[in-house]
């Protein structure tokens, strides 16, 4: 019989796949949609920014709600909200309407990751956390892999509006299984005694803490994690939102070729998420201190990220695509370990709130970089964007190393 925690891991993976399929639908249809609605690069960037603004703000709110409502109810509510919001994109007729609907989508989608972080703290010991976080991050990549070919085919046969309806309906299928499977370990009706003992023994601080939400801002670890996300995550947002347009408009791929090939950078990101998590978990099994293991795994991937700058200068579109694949691999291996530190350093009952605060840096960095990208692309080119992205992860690593040095305790840093 499959242990309950691995059934839960599968559902967390699938929720993230759906999250990213829904999110990526707009990016895939963008070459057609922006022409049909006559949207400029800046208008398109503003629509993306509308999503990122509410997505970022709701990181704080959704983290709090996950801690208040519990993982099971919170993730179910978030799934319904963003699925309905995505389906409503099918009726949009203007940039304003698209922007408003992207705001609604952003309000729900960030909650997926806050709930996943909470579930990982509730259900997995330290030696398994990075792998499960890797699965969640891999779900993002798999969703991004599936979206280009699937949405392109839907758009080809039925139009871009039906693409939103089809992808938005997936969440309701997932919801049925989630409500049947997920309960906290102490109250789960189907978990074995041995698995319950393993899980409860492996939670941070036994899952208890006297830390209040505002107390989390007093710790340098919190600011180190937030700033590391602020500087490194814009790279991922760029490839999620701008890659299809870049490949079609600047690298000479047709819309069909883009749909058939744009999954490749997300596949390598998927591999990075899994292998990055396995790398640090292996060090933990070898008795490394948990934080040292995560840090050691992050460094080589941060050093690979300057490859991004080369993308703008190579002539071959295939070499450019290969470099992009290397960059997404390194980024997701880095990110898997960075987000796992949240589970490693903080008591389980504040992980939802903490993850929301830290992820605020992700959304804020992505929002600002997205605005910059729209302006630079419209008035200049993509060259400066790729060069800037090459510098972000090394800077993020230095900040992380300076501020994140030991676990948080109820007594202080």
- Predicted pLDDT at 220: 86
- Predicted pLDDT at 364: 85
- Predicted pLDDT at 56: 83
| More reliable by pLDDT, 231 or 273 | 231
393: in domain: yes
- Predicted pLDDT at 206: 44
- Predicted pLDDT at 209: 52
- Predicted pLDDT at 413: 47
Q: Say how far residue 305 (Cα) sits from the centre of its chain.
A: 18
Q: What does the pLDDT average to over 44-61?
A: 84
Where residue 262 falls (left for φ over 0; alpha for ψ -120 to 50; beta otherwise) is: alpha
| More reliable by pLDDT, 180 or 148 | 180
pTM of the model: 0.70
Distance between CA atoms of residues 59 and 37, nearest Å: 31
Distance between CA atoms of residues 326 and 315, nearest Å: 17
Exposure string for 324-357, b = 16+ CB within 10 A, e = fewer: bbbbbbbbbbbbbbbbbbbbbbbbbbbbbbbbbb
- Mean pLDDT taken over the chain: 84
Convert the pLDDT of each residue in 275-307 to its tens digit: 888 888 888 888 888 888 889 989 999 999 999
Distance between CA atoms of residues 55 and 53, nearest Å: 5
| More reliable by pLDDT, 18 or 139 | 18
Compute the residue count for the chain. Answer: 413
User: What is the number of domains present in the chain?
Assistant: 1
HEC secondary structure over 131-197? HHHHHHHHHHHHHHHHHHHHHHHHHHHHCHHHHHHHHHCHHHHHHHHHHHHCCCHHHCCCCCHHHHH
Nearest by Cα to 297 from 334, 245, 344: 334
> Looking at the predicted structure, is the pLDDT value of residue 322 above 80?
yes
> Looking at the predicted structure, is the pLDDT value of residue 65 above 90?
no
8: in domain: yes
83: in domain: yes
CA distances from residue 400 to 137, 140, 282 in whole angstroms, order as listed: 20, 23, 21
> Looking at the predicted structure, is the pLDDT value of residue 243 above 90?
no
The number of helices, as runs of H, and strands, as runs of E, in the chain is 18, 0
> Looking at the predicted structure, is the pLDDT value of residue 318 above 80?
yes
CB neighbour list of residue 87: distance below 8 Å, 6 or more residues apart? 164, 165, 168, 169
Give the residues across from 257 on adjacent strands. none
- Predicted pLDDT at 175: 94
359: in domain: yes
Print the domain residue range for 40.
4-184+214-403
> Looking at the predicted structure, is the pLDDT value of residue 10 above 70?
yes
Q: Are 280 and 274 in contact (CB under 8 A)?
A: no
Q: What does the pLDDT average to over 167-192?
A: 88
Convert the pLDDT of each residue in 99-112 to its tens digit: 899 999 999 998 89
- Predicted pLDDT at 242: 81
Nearest by Cα to 247 from 27, 19, 24: 27
**Which of 104-108, 222-226, 228-232, 240-244 shows the lowest per-residue confidence on average (mean pLDDT)?**
240-244
Rg (CA), the chain: 20
Query: Which CATH number covers residue 323?
Result: 1.20.1250.20
408: in domain: no
Q: Are 209 and 121 in contact (CB under 8 A)?
A: no
Distance between CA atoms of residues 110 and 216, nearest Å: 20
204: in domain: no
Please spell the DSSP secondary structure of 325-378, one letter per residue. HHHHHHHHHHHHHHHHHHHHHS-GGGHHHHHHHHHHHHHHHHHHHHHHHHHHHH
- Predicted pLDDT at 217: 78
- Predicted pLDDT at 301: 94
> Looking at the predicted structure, is the pLDDT value of residue 6 above 70?
yes
- Predicted pLDDT at 114: 83
Distance between CA atoms of residues 329 and 321, nearest Å: 12
93: in domain: yes
Distance between CA atoms of residues 220 and 222, nearest Å: 5
94: in domain: yes
Distance between CA atoms of residues 331 and 269, nearest Å: 7
Q: What does the pLDDT average to over 65-93?
A: 91
Tokens 């057609």 identify what position?
A: 32
CA distances from residue 341 to 142, 146, 394 in whole angstroms, order as listed: 23, 29, 18
């Amino acid at each position: 019989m499959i242990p309950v925690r691995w059934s839960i891991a599968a559902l967390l993976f699938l929720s993230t796949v759906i999250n990213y399929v829904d999110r990526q639908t707009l990016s895939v249809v963008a070459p057609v949609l922006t022409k049909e609605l006559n949207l400029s690069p800046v208008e398109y960037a503003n629509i993306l920014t509308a999503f990122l603004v509410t997505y970022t703000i709701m990181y704080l709110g959704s983290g709090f709600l996950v801690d208040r409502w519990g993982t099971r109810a919170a993730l179910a509510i978030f799934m319904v909200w963003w699925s309905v919001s995505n389906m409503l994109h099918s009726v949009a007729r203007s940039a304003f309407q698209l922007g408003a609907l992207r705001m609604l989508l952003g309000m729900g989608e960030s909650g997926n990751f806050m709930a996943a972080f909470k579930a990982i703290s509730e259900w997995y010991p330290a030696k398994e956390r990075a792998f499960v976080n890797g699965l969640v991050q891999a779900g993002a990549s798999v969703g991004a892999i599936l979206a280009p070919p699937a949405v392109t085919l839907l758009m080809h046969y039925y139009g871009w509006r039906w693409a939103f309806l089809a992808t938005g309906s997936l969440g309701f299928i997932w919801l049925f299984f989630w409500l049947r499977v997920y309960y906290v370990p102490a109250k789960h009706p189907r978990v074995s005694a041995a698995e319950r003992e393993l899980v409860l023994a492996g939670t941070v601080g036994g899952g208890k803490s006297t830390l209040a939400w505002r107390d989390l801002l007093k710790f340098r670890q919190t600011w180190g994690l937030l700033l590391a996300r602020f500087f490194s995550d814009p790279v991922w947002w760029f490839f999620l939102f701008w890659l299809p347009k870049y490949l079609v408009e600047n690298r000479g791929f047709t819309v069909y070729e883009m749909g058939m090939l744009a999954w490749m950078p997300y596949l390598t990101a998927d591999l990075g998420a899994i292998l990055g998590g396995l790398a640090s978990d292996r060090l933990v099994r070898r008795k490394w201190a948990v934080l040292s293991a995560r840090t050691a795994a992050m460094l080589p991937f941060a050093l690979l990220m300057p490859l991004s700058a080369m993308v703008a200068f190579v002539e071959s579109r295939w070499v450019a695509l290969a470099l992009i694949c290397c960059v997404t691999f390194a980024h997701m291996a880095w990110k898997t370990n960075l987000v796992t530190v949240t589970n490693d350093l903080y008591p389980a009952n504040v992980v939802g709130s903490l993850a929301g605060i830290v992820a605020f840096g992700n959304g804020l960095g992505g929002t600002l970089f997205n605005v910059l990208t729209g302006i630079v692309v419209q008035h200049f080119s993509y060259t400066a964007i790729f060069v800037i992205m090459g510098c972000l992860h090394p800077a993020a690593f230095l900040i992380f190393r300076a501020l994140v040095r030991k676990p948080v305790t109820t007594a202080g840093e």
